[in-house]
Amino acid sequence: MRPLALLLCVLGCAEWRMPPTFPERAAGRPVVHEQALLGLSPQGDAAVAELVEADGSEPHLELRIFAGLAGLGTQYATPHASAVGTASCVLCPPTLLVASIDRARIVAQKLRSVAGRPQPVLAAIVAVEWPEAMLRAAQLGYAPRLPAEPEPGSGLWHIRGAAGAGALPLALRVSPMADPPALLLLLSDGLGGDGIELARVLMTGDVVGPQLFLQDGVAWLLAGSVRADPLRRTVGLHRAMLARGEAQLHNAHGLEDYAAGELDAARREFGRSIAADPSYVDGLYNAAAAAALTGRAEEAVELLARAASVDPARVQVLGRNDQDFKSLRRRPDVRALLGLRRPPPEGIPPPP
Domains in the chain: boundaries = 25-145, 244-338
Q: What is the pTM of this model?
A: 0.80
Predicted confidence at residue 320, as pLDDT, reads 87
Going from the C-alpha of 1 to that of each of 5, 9, 13, 345, the distances in angstroms are 6, 12, 18, 67
CATH H-level superfamily of 244-338: Tetratricopeptide repeat domain (1.25.40.10)
How far apart, in whole angstroms, are the C-alpha atoms of residue 321 and residue 319? 6
Predicted confidence at residue 12, as pLDDT, reads 36
163 DSSP β-pair partners? none
Q: Which residues contact 147 (CB under 8 A, 6 or more apart)?
A: 211, 212, 213, 222
How far apart, in whole angstroms, are the C-alpha atoms of residue 119 and residue 224? 9
Length of the chain in terms of residues written: 352
Distance of CA 153 to the CA centre of its chain: 27
Low-confidence residues of the chain, pLDDT below 70? 1-29, 69-93, 192, 342-352
Predicted confidence at residue 340, as pLDDT, reads 87
Predicted confidence at residue 349, as pLDDT, reads 59
Quick check: 38 and 142 in contact, CB under 8 A? yes
Residue 195 carries which side chain, given as an amino acid letter?
Answer: G
Predicted confidence at residue 54, as pLDDT, reads 87
Helix (H, G, I), strand (E, B) or coil at 211: strand
Q: Which residues in 5-39 are b (16+ Cβ under 10 Å) and which e?
A: eeeeeeeeeeeeeeeeeeeeebeebbbbbbbbbbb
Predicted confidence at residue 308, as pLDDT, reads 96
Q: Which residues in 152-175 are b (16+ Cβ under 10 Å) and which e?
A: eeeebbebebbeebeebebbbbbe
Of residues 288, 281, 284, 298, the one with CA closest to residue 322: 288
Distance of CA 242 to the CA centre of its chain: 10
Of residues 307, 312, 305, the one with CA closest to residue 333: 305
The beta-strand segments (E) located in 137-294 are: 157-160, 169-177, 182-188, 196-202, 206-215, 218-227, 232-241
Predicted confidence at residue 350, as pLDDT, reads 54
Residue 248, phi then psi, degrees to nearest 5: -65, -35
pLDDT in tens, 95-128: 899 999 999 999 999 999 999 999 999 999 999 9
How far apart, in whole angstroms, are the C-alpha atoms of residue 252 and residue 244? 12
Predicted confidence at residue 230, as pLDDT, reads 86
Q: What one-character DSSP code corresponds to residue 350?
A: P
How far apart, in whole angstroms, are the C-alpha atoms of residue 303 and residue 309? 10
Residue 73 carries which side chain, given as an amino acid letter?
Answer: G
Predicted confidence at residue 66, as pLDDT, reads 93
Residue 10, phi then psi, degrees to nearest 5: -60, -45
